[in-house]
Amino acid sequence: MDRLDTMQAFTRIVERRSFTQAAQDLNISRSTLTEAIKAMEARLGVRLLQRTTRSVTPTQEGEAYYHRCLSILSQVEEADTLAADSPRGVLKVGVHGTLARHFLLPGLPAFLEANPELDIVLSEGDRLVDLVGEGVDCVLRVGILQDSDMVARQVATLDEVTVASPGYLARYGTPQSPAALAGHVIVGFHSSRVGHVLPLELMDKGEAHYVVLPAHVTVTGADTYHAAALQGLGIAQMPRYHVEQALREGRLVELLPDTPPAGSPVSLLYPSNRQLSPRVRVFMDWVATVFEERMAAMK
């Protein structure tokens, strides 16, 4: 391994807190990685990593060296990109599946054609992601963001809508006001972000009101939530883009349009302790453009 490769290996060990996991990420043997780090420490004349039976942590000198390595590796990547006139490498992105399918995938062939040196790995899910530990470059998330050590760039606000199927409304009636929701049921959506089933949210003159209703079915995934609403299992609230076709076809009906849920922000997040690499920057700029164009078309 040359010096840059060893620096990259060292940063992965620090981020993964494990020689074994870092070796798997880099697709090299653990013994090769161990020898490379030993040689690095010998060359520098300082211990960089504190090893125990359970984990690996950087020493004070190792922590400082880690941040310098990040800066150097980022500059090298940017220099390579400028020379090649195109970002290159593997870009790992955490995405919400429905967002990826509706917004990203349709334009991805053109993006990759414009950036032929990029390979993209889409990791689907809405759980909280340890970007540094899992080697993810950025994530695309919906909703109000919790305080974190990540930098956020909001790219859109999704309109939300309250819906139910015609079959459900035939059984329970169509509520004409928030007060008429008494006696109704919802499709419960258990959010991993907040740790409980979300109530209905109704906005009236800029003020949010929350309505807690019983749920005979509770789900944890957006696609299942959508499918349950179509099956008449209760009232649901979700982004308009996700149900626009079902609304047009009459398979779902919008309820209480005068008191809709608040819009949901869509944000890209990346680690604050890293410089924004060229491959991440070009992807984030593209995603912002995709959402801007799609949201304008939906109005």
Mind listing the pLDDT tens digit for each residue in 63-115?
Answer: 888 888 888 887 787 777 665 567 888 888 988 888 888 899 999 999 999 99
Query: Which whole number is the average pLDDT over 204-208?
Result: 90
Q: Tell me, what's the pLDDT at 299? A: 66
Q: Tell me, what's the pLDDT at 130? A: 60
Q: Could you read off the pLDDT of 221-245 as tens digits, one per residue?
A: 888 999 999 999 999 999 999 999 9
CA angle 170, 176, 180 (to 5 degrees): 85
CA angle 269, 273, 278 (to 5 degrees): 65
Give the ranges where the chain is alpha helix by DSSP (H).
3-16, 19-26, 30-44, 60-84, 97-99, 108-114, 131-134, 166-172, 222-230, 240-249, 278-298
Q: Tell me, what's the pLDDT at 199? A: 95
Average pLDDT, the chain: 87
Nearest to 159 by CA among 250, 234, 270, 254: 254
Could you tell me the end-to-end alpha-carbon distance of the chain, in angstroms, rounded to an integer?
A: 54
Band (274; pLDDT cuts 50, 70, 90):
low
Whether residue 137 is predicted with pLDDT greater than 90 in this model: the reply is: no
- The most confident of the ranges 40-54, 85-99, 186-200, 256-270 is 256-270
Nearest to 140 by CA among 149, 130, 148, 152: 152
The continuous run of DSSP H or E covering 123 comes out as: strand 118-124
Query: Which whole number is the average pLDDT over 24-28?
Result: 86
> How distant is the alpha carbon of residue 172 from its chain centre?
36
Q: Tell me, what's the pLDDT at 15? A: 83
Query: Which whole number is the average pLDDT over 126-137?
Result: 65
Report the alpha-carbon distance of residue 218 to residue 90 in Å, rounded: 37
Q: Could you read off the pLDDT of 35-65 as tens digits, one per residue?
A: 999 999 999 999 999 988 778 999 999 888 8
Domains of the chain, start order = 3-83 (1.10.10.10), 86-158+265-298 (3.40.190.10), 160-262 (3.40.190.10)
Q: Tell me, what's the pLDDT at 147? A: 53
